[in-house]
Amino acid sequence: MNPLDGVLHVVPSPAAVVYVLLRGLQDDVDDDMFGARLGAPLAIDSRWHGPLLEAMVPIPPLEPGDTVWWHPDIIHAVDGANKRSAATSLMYIPATPHCRKNLAYAVACRRAERSGLPPPDFG
Structural domains counted in the chain: 2
Split at pLDDT 50, 70, 90, the class of 108 is very high
Integer CA distances (angstroms), 25 to 16, 22, 35, 37, 39, in order = 15, 5, 10, 16, 22
Distance CA 45, CA 47 (A): 5
pLDDT tier, 112 (very low <50, low <70, confident <90, very high otherwise): very high
- Helices 46-55 and 16-23: crossing angle in degrees, nearest 10, is 180
Residues 81 and 106 in one domain: no
Let me know whether 66 and 37 are in one domain: yes
Check residue 86 and give its pLDDT. 64
DSSP 108: H
Question: Over the stretch 5-33, which tens digit does the pLDDT of each residue have?
Answer: 777 888 988 888 888 888 878 888 777 66
| Each residue's pLDDT tens digit, 74-93 | 888 876 556 666 666 666 66
Domain with 87 in it: 3-91
3-class SS of residue 74: coil
Q: Are residues 47 and 26 in the same domain?
A: yes
